Structure 1
Amino acid sequence: MGWIYLLAAGLSEIGWAIGLKYTEGFTRPVPTVLTIVSMIISIGLLGLALKTLPLGTAYAIWTGIGTVGTVLLGIVLFGEAATALRLACVGLILAGIVGLKLASPA
Structure 2
Amino acid sequence: MNWILLIIGGLFETGFATCLGKAQETTGRESFFWWAGFAISLSLSMFLLYKAISYGSNPIPVGTAYAVWTGIGAVGGVMAGIFIFNEPATFWRMFFVFTLIASVVGLKAVSN
Q: TM-score range by the shorter chain?
A: over 0.9
| Identity %, equivalent residues | 42
2:102 to 90, 95, 98: 95
Q: Give 5+ residue unaligned stretches, structure 1.
A: none
Q: CA RMSD in A?
A: 1.3
Q: Tell me the CA shift for residue 26 of structure 1.
A: 9.0
- Cα separation, partners in 2 of 1:11 and 1:92, compared to 1, 3 Å: same
Match of residue 80 from structure 2: 73
Is 1:30 equivalent to 2:33 in the alignment?
yes
Is 1:40 equivalent to 2:43 in the alignment?
yes
Q: Counterparts of 1:2-21 in structure 2 under 5 Å?
A: 2-21=2-21
Whichever residue aligns with residue 83 of structure 1, its letter is T
Q: Tell me the CA shift for residue 25 of structure 1.
A: 8.0
- Cα separation, partners in 2 of 1:36 and 1:26, compared to 1, 3 Å: farther
Q: Give 5+ residue unaligned stretches, structure 2.
A: none
CA distance in 1, matches of 2:72, 2:88: 19
Runs of 4 or more above 2 Å deviation: none
- Cα separation, partners in 2 of 1:25 and 1:74, compared to 1, 3 Å: closer
Question: Structure 2 length as normaliser, TM-score?
Answer: 0.90
Question: Structure 1 length as normaliser, TM-score?
Answer: 0.95
Q: Any idea what SS the aligned residue of 1:24 has? A: helix
